[in-house]
């Protein structure tokens, strides 16, 4: 999916949040009305959710139940990986099929920060990682990046910018870790090799390449008189990559990490790494899952809409039982009973949803439904007679 640096940067920049965000209480009825306008039959629609397992995803599930009139099928694995091996069972359970997939990220309204969420049910209402699964993947890479930021030092020698690089970062035979793209950092000699200018006890100094010297010329005053400063935020995503030994099994233990490892330099350098990671996971999973749906015989003669996006979990305030979850659509795939197919990109999808009413005449009263079930005549469960 990621053929080049430009592909990653364009994919990230194409995912718009501003102007493309819906409260879930508005999104779900609009989605219901949209698929109904496509010919999906009331009472025969079965939604399916591919969300993370967190309790913060419960409010969207309640709204899907309310507006579609049935509890949604479960299509998700931890971290919002789509369980494509469940397609067959899902297809058998309904006629009009609506799959809603979303990675999620916490949002703190008091600070405007992404990546944490107020866990009201903990003893001290702690603010913890959200999504925890994504954080568990990303944190190792963040640590590697922070180490590299301090282990590459900028210095001057004979009027030129140089990089003093820790030997640990220069060991190319490592199986895991952050690896520098030296061609973006260091000047080659006449034969195309990277030859150190000086060798130290635990590091080597190289003359910076011309492009980097030009980019960091504004730092010259800070580097006079033998001073050295860490490269810090000047270590940009195109200057390094990550390597790690991972299980490559599709939907296996490391599936989400496989989704994220190539664009990880852009994730760890993002102002909000967990937001960028959740966004990229949504994009990669949509691309992968669409291919498992598009030509699958199990969906033949079915109406199917697959929509993928981002759930933003806004931390609940005291007295609020649920987060004010918002949904950012990314893309959708539509397949009709005759096999016709189309993909809707974000701008078109947002436009189509905004054209729909946020009032749903078919929504059910959950309180009344629960009362009716509690008051219904009891059914005795017959047990087989002992032989």
Q: Which two tokens stand for residue 275?
A: 């937001």
Across the chain, how many H-helices and E-strands are there? 12, 19
**37 vs 322: which has the higher pLDDT:** 37
Residue range 101-146, pLDDT digits in tens: 999 999 988 889 998 887 766 777 767 767 889 999 999 999 999 9
4 or 256, which is more confident: 256
Helix (H), strand (E) at residue 138: helix 132-151
Q: What angle do CA 76, 43, 372 make, to 5 degrees?
A: 90
Give yes or no for a contact between 115 and 106, defined as CB atoms under 8 angstroms apart: yes
* The pLDDT value given to residue 356: 98
Percent above pLDDT 70 for the chain: 96
What would the pLDDT profile of 262-287 be if each residue is shown by its tens digit?
999 999 999 999 999 999 999 999 99
Q: Which helix (H) or strand (E) holds 273?
A: helix 273-293
Summarised one tens digit per residue, pLDDT across range 173-194 is: 899 999 999 999 999 988 889 9
Confidence (pLDDT) at 386: 55
Predicted TM-score (pTM) of the model is: 0.92
Q: Helix (H, G, I), strand (E, B), or coil: what is residue 317?
A: coil
Mark out the alpha helices in 240-336 (DSSP H runs): 255-261, 264-268, 273-293
pLDDT at residue 3, rounded to an integer: 63
> What digits encode the pLDDT tens for the residues 74-101?
999 988 999 999 999 999 999 999 999 9
Residue 159 — pLDDT band, cuts 50, 70, 90? confident
């Amino acid at each position: 999916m990621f053929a080049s640096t430009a592909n990653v940067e364009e994919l990230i920049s194409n995912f718009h949040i501003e102007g493309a965000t819906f409260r879930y209480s508005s999104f779900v009825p609009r989605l219901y009305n949209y698929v109904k306008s496509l010919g999906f039959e009331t009472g025969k629609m079965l939604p399916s959710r591919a969300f993370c397992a967190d309790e913060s995803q419960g409010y969207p599930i309640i709204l899907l139940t309310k507006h579609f009139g049935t509890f949604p099928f479960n299509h998700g694995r931890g971290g919002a990986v789509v369980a494509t091996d469940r397609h067959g069972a899902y297809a058998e359970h309904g006629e009009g099929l609506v799959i809603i997939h979303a990675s999620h990220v916490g949002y703190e309204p008091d600070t405007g920060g992404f990546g944490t969420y107020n866990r009201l049910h903990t003893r001290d209402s702690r603010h913890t990682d959200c999504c925890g699964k994504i954080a568990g993947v990303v944190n190792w890479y963040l640590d590697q990046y922070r180490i590299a930021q301090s282990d590459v030092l900028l210095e001057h020698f004979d009027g030129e910018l140089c990089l003093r690089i820790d030997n640990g970062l220069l060991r190319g035979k490592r199986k895991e870790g952050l690896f520098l793209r030296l061609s973006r950092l260091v000047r080659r000699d006449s034969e195309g090799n990277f030859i150190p200018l000086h060798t130290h006890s635990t590091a080597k100094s190289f003359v910076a390449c011309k492009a980097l010297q030009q980019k960091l010329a504004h730092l010259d005053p800070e580097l006079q008189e033998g001073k050295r400063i860490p490269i810090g935020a000047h270590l940009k995503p195109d200057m390094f990559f990550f390597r790690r030994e991972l299980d490559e099994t599709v939907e296996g233990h490391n599936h989400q990490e496989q989704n994220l490892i190539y664009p990880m330099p852009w994730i760890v350098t993002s102002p909000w790494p967990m937001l960028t990671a959740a966004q990229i996971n949504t994009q990669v999973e949509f691309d992968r899952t669409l291919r498992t749906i598009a030509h699958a015989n199990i969906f033949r003669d079915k109406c199917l809409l697959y929509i993928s996006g981002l759930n933003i979990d806004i931390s609940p305030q005291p007295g609020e039982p649920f987060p004010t979850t918002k949904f950012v659509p990314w893309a959708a795939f539509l397949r009709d009973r005759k096999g016709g197919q189309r993909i809707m990109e974000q701008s078109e999808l947002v436009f189509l949803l905004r054209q729909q009413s946020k009032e749903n005449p078919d929504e059910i009263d959950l309180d009344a439904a629960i009362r009716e079930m509690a008051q219904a005549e009891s059914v005795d469960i017959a047990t087989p007679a002992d032989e």
